[in-house]
Amino acid sequence: MSALAVLPPIGRLGRYDLLGKLATGGVAEIYVGRMTGPRDVTRMVVIKRINPSLAENPIVKRDFLHEAKLMLGLSHPNLATVHDVGEESGALFLAMEWVRGVSLRKVLDASRRKQQPLPLELVVDLFTDVASALAHVHTATDAQGKPLRIVHRDISPENVVVGWNGIPKLLDFGVAKSDAASKQTDAGVVKGKYAYMAPEQWGGETVDGRSDLFALAASLHEALTGKALFDRPTPMATMAAIVLQPPPDPPSASRADVPAELDRIVAKGLAREPSARYASAEEMRSDLEALAASIAPLSSQGSTREQRAAAFLRALFPGEADREPILDRKPPSMRFAVEAPREPTPVDLQLQAEADLESDAILREQRSRQRTVALVVALLVVATLAFVVVNLR
């Protein structure tokens, strides 16, 4: 029996015992939780709770609830399952599947550190599964069958966790957009990790599932080569690398065992124009699946892709799969109070005004970014024309 199964709780949220804090982010705290049912039936979960300092921020609460609504409607083997949404003492929280494993970012870092490139078949297998998860996300519908048109907007190695069982899971829909979101959620907002954002995201244009495929292809290129494709020292340099520079070298330029078909898949996902990319995640998944069948080594016959991934992870991180996580056992802050519905107070109105100001600031920043992109493009065009004129003379 795991030691966590009998660990005394440090607090409680709804029907979940909190066993300790696993991590803290900018918006939320992550706890390991335990739900106990009849006859000592237990389930271990992770609890994602809004950070106490942001619990009354209207924008944070809105985005948190939007994430919860999206994830409750999704069900796929390569997505982390959301079991429950609740509110306790004024704090919103999600109870989610606890994926025991490591992020793809940590896998890439360990691979670089040990100078041990990820096996080609492992990379293709993992990205086939993530593309399958994205296909499910992009085609999800509401209860009436209406397409939700969800776009994750934050595909990156940080948001893929590979379980010790070898199953990858796509996480974190905190900045996802969908037709179910209010216009305020999406209008003019640049969201995502800079080095994986599609050109249209940088320009503040309309994004769709093909924007996620650009980020997936950038992550795939990095997994194959061990180098972040577009990451630069500053956001503007990163933007220039994505929007202005020529197409990047194929993975095979850095790694001789990458077949031409995999180069083609990566290049199609990285096309600057969305219309030149894969039309859907399912198309990309299908091509990766076909490639996986052709490159699986003879030594792997009789084993599943999950078994191969699990064996590789345990070799890359010896002993870690069997260790219990290190938890912060300090009791959580529960200083919120649930208030009865009431008329807006001056404080409420101030918070709403601050939220409106924040939205306006985001719009101003986005317009400034668009003007900068346009200026850089214009300068590049002028320089090119000047070069042509001089050479013609």
User: Quick one: CA dihedral 278, 185, 85, 7, positive or negative?
Assistant: positive
| Burial (0-12, 13-18, 19+ Cβ within 10 Å), 215 | buried
Q: Using CA atoms, how far apart are residues 270 and 197, in angstroms rounded to an integer?
A: 11
Number of helices and strands in the chain (H, E)? 11, 9
Closest by Cα among 110, 95, 162 to 133: 162
Q: Is 39 left (phi over 0), alpha (psi -120 to 50) or beta?
A: left
Amino acid at 188: G
Contact 338, 89 (CB under 8 A): yes
Known catalytic residue: 356? no
- Quote the CA–CA distance of 125 and 167 in Å, as a whole number: 10
CA dihedral (256, 257, 259, 265) positive or negative: negative
Tokens of 251: 């993975």
Largest Cα–Cα separation, the chain: 89
Contact between residue 223 and residue 126 where contact means Cβ atoms under 8 Å apart: yes
CA atoms within 13 A on the CB side of 136: 17
User: What CA–CA distance (Å, rounded) separates 242 from 193?
Assistant: 13
Catalytic site residue from 84, 125, 129, 154: 154
Number of other CB atoms surrounding residue 40 within 10 Å: 7
So which residues are the catalytic ones? 154
